[in-house]
């Protein structure tokens, strides 16, 4: 193995993460099947962990990858061995989270290898949905170039094989086949609690009857159960009981939570923290206590996805390419109601959502905005976002919008520096405009609370003409602008 031996070998009987191990096996098999000569696996290491000691301060850093292997080809004694570092990527983590690992590999190469020809090959196996796999593979190539450029070093010796060719073997990529829709319903319910039948039907472009049948099949497998009035916390109002019955809400069972974590190839704790999969009855009760709030936040993202689909049908090229729930994008006391990334042509625009039903006071708005400024000031956001996303605020009343806007202006004055990019609107304005959430229904923070009416605009820049869009590159900064 390159870079020496690990400090200690892990006991195979105590290793966890079987799904990730299987994914690493399949990625290795895909690499081996593409060779003309027979291969022999001389070394296999799972997980692959090395330590870098800085020459300046003596600080030790761990470099972790899922697996590594050494393959030997040829039938004679003069066979050539090739060292591989394996990184399966199934799209359940943002690309920005891999940046520190790639930087560490660049540092390790610089300090531990006398000859760059001895550098192992990093194999990045991308396995996401057919519609986004090619874009993510290109984003990986751009990320590898960017990390090397910032370090002032040549790019890592890496390969990004063709997507969707290794994780599941030979598969039918028809997005509308029943089994695929079943998986999509399960993934949506697991990562976004309390989606209604209408919302699921809109996201999957099918009928509510079809959604009901798919959910029934998932209930038969023991992964879902209906949300009933008995599941609501004590003290919940009677109208909420009627609403739950009418919407036909479902939630994960204990077996469903385990299955969701298994499909994400992560432990249960990371499935909760990084992907929003609820792992306890306490977290489930918190969502049910805020039922109306969760329904409203979900409705915004569903409407945004539907609006993007409508634009594409009319000849555009737009999509909601990422949606994280409140649990998935929480960081300490920083708790937005969701994160999304919207694609308009070759550009990506990230945003946090704050959905407000007008039940909070001005002081609570000020506290919420303070967490945004602190989160940005600490730089903790850089692990998941290349630049700090903008903030979209959707309220259910004009008065609440006015209060939030005034507090956003006061926060700009209080914290100084570059102000947050904040856009505000109301649910009534969204519903009244033909373009909905993409229309000119948004405003910025008011500079004077007593000033006259403010002009409204779209939170996205104008759509580029085809000549400009055709010249755009697919660099990482374009793919993950925010």
Q: What is the CATH number of the domain that holds 247?
A: 1.10.10.10
Lowest mean pLDDT among 135-149, 166-180, 278-292, 329-343: 166-180
**SS3 category, 290:** coil
Tell whether 267 and 307 lie within a shared domain.
Answer: no
Among 159, 193, 213, the domain-final residue is: 159
What digits encode the pLDDT tens for the residues 397-453? 999 999 999 999 999 989 888 899 999 999 999 999 999 999 999 999 965 545 556
- Residue 169: band (very low, low, confident or very high) from pLDDT cuts 50, 70, 90: very low
d(CA 198, CA 226): 16
* Model pLDDT, residue 460: 93
Whether the bond into 345 is cis, omega within 30 of 0:
no
What digits encode the pLDDT tens for the residues 320-329? 988 998 888 8
- Residue 284: band (very low, low, confident or very high) from pLDDT cuts 50, 70, 90: low
Tell whether 328 and 474 lie within a shared domain.
Answer: yes
What digits encode the pLDDT tens for the residues 452-482? 567 899 999 887 655 333 433 333 333 333 3
- Residue 54: band (very low, low, confident or very high) from pLDDT cuts 50, 70, 90: low
- Give me the mean pLDDT over the 6-23 stretch: 71
Own/partner long-range contacts of 289-292 (Cβ < 8 Å, ≥24 apart) = 289/233, 289/236, 291/194, 291/232, 291/236, 291/240, 291/243, 291/244, 292/240, 292/357
- Give me the mean pLDDT over the 21-35 stretch: 85
d(CA 23, CA 127): 10
326, 329, 333, 335 alpha-carbon torsion, rounded to 10°: -30
d(CA 125, CA 142): 15
Among 115, 131, 159, the domain-final residue is: 159
- Pure H helices in 329-448: 362-378, 398-415, 427-432
Distance of CA 30 to the CA centre of its chain: 26
Query: 319 lies in which domain range?
Result: 292-479
Tell whether 144 and 228 lie within a shared domain.
Answer: no
Q: For the chain, give the mean pLDDT.
A: 80
Domain total of the chain: 3
Q: Which residues of 194-207 are buried (b: 16+ CB within 10 A; e: fewer)?
A: bbbbebbbbbbebe
**Is residue 171 domain-resident?**
no
In this predicted model, which residue has the larger pLDDT, 185 or 5?
Answer: 185
What digits encode the pLDDT tens for the residues 218-261? 999 999 988 876 656 555 555 566 677 778 788 888 898 888 87
* Model pLDDT, residue 464: 64
**Is residue 307 domain-resident?**
yes
The total number of residues shown for the chain amounts to: 482
Among 224, 250, 275, the domain-final residue is: 275
Tell whether 217 and 314 lie within a shared domain.
Answer: no
Nearest by Cα to 101 from 87, 119, 120, 118: 87
**Is residue 445 domain-resident?**
yes
Structure tokens, 456: 């409204």
* Model pLDDT, residue 474: 34
- Residue 63: band (very low, low, confident or very high) from pLDDT cuts 50, 70, 90: confident
Q: Calculate helix-pair angle for 208-220, 178-191, nearest 10 degrees.
A: 80
* Model pLDDT, residue 215: 93
Q: CA quadruple 260, 265, 266, 267: dihedral positive or negative?
A: positive
């Amino acid at each position: 193995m390159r870079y020496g031996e690990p400090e200690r070998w892990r006991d195979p009987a105590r290793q966890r993460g079987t799904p990730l191990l299987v994914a690493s096996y399949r990625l290795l098999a895909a690499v081996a099947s593409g060779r003309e000569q027979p291969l022999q696996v001389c070394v296999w290491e799972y997980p692959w962990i090395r330590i870098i000691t800085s020459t300046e301060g003596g600080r030790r850093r761990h470099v972790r990858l899922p697996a590594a292997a050494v393959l030997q080809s040829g039938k004679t004694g003069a066979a050539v061995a090739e060292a591989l570092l394996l990184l399966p990527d199934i799209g359940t983590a943002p690309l920005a989270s891999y940046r520190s690992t790639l930087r560490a590999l660049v540092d390790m190469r610089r300090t531990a290898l006398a000859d760059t020809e001895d550098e192992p090959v990093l194999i990045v196996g991308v396995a996401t949905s057919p519609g986004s796999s090619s874009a993510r593979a290109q984003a990986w190539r751009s990320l590898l170039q960017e990390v090397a450029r910032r370090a002032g070093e040549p790019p890592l010796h890496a390969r990004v094989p063709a997507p969707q060719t290794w994780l599941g073997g030979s598969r039918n990529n028809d997005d509308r086949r029943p089994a695929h829709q079943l998986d999509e319903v399960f993934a949506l319910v697991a990562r976004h609690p309390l989606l209604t039948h209408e919302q699921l039907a809109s996201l999957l472009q099918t009928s509510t009857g079809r959604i009901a049948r798919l959910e029934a099949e998932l209930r038969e497998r023991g992964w879902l159960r209906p949300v009933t009035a008995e599941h609501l916390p004590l003290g919940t109002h009677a109208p909420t009981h009627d609403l739950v019955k009418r919407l036909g809400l479902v939630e994960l069972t204990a077996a469903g939570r385990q299955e969701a974590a298994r499909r994400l190839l992560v432990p249960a704790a990371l499935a909760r923290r990084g992907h929003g999969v609820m792992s306890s009855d306490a977290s489930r009760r918190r969502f049910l206590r805020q039922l109306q709030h969760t329904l409203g936040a979900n409705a915004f993202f569903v409407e945004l996805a539907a609006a993007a689909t409508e634009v594409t049908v009319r000849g555009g090229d737009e999509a909601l390419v990422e949606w994280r729930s409140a649990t998935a994008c929480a960081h300490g006391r920083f708790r937005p109601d969701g994160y999304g990334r919207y694609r308009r042509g070759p550009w990506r625009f990230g945003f946090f959502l704050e959905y407000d039903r007008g039940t909070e006071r001005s002081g609570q708005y000020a506290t919420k905005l303070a967490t945004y400024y602190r989160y940005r000031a600490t730089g903790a956001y850089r692990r998941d976002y290349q630049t700090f996303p903008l903030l979209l605020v959707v309220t259910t009343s004009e008065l609440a919008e006015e209060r939030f806007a005034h507090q956003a202006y006061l926060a700009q004055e209080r914290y100084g520096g570059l102000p947050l990019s904040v856009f505000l609107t109301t649910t009534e304005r969204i519903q009244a405009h033909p373009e909905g959430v993409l229309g000119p229904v948004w405003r910025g923070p008011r500079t004077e609370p007593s000033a006259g009416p403010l002009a409204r605009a779209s939170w996205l820049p104008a759509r580029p003409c085809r000549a400009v869009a055709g010249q755009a590159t697919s660099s990482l900064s374009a793919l993950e602008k925010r």
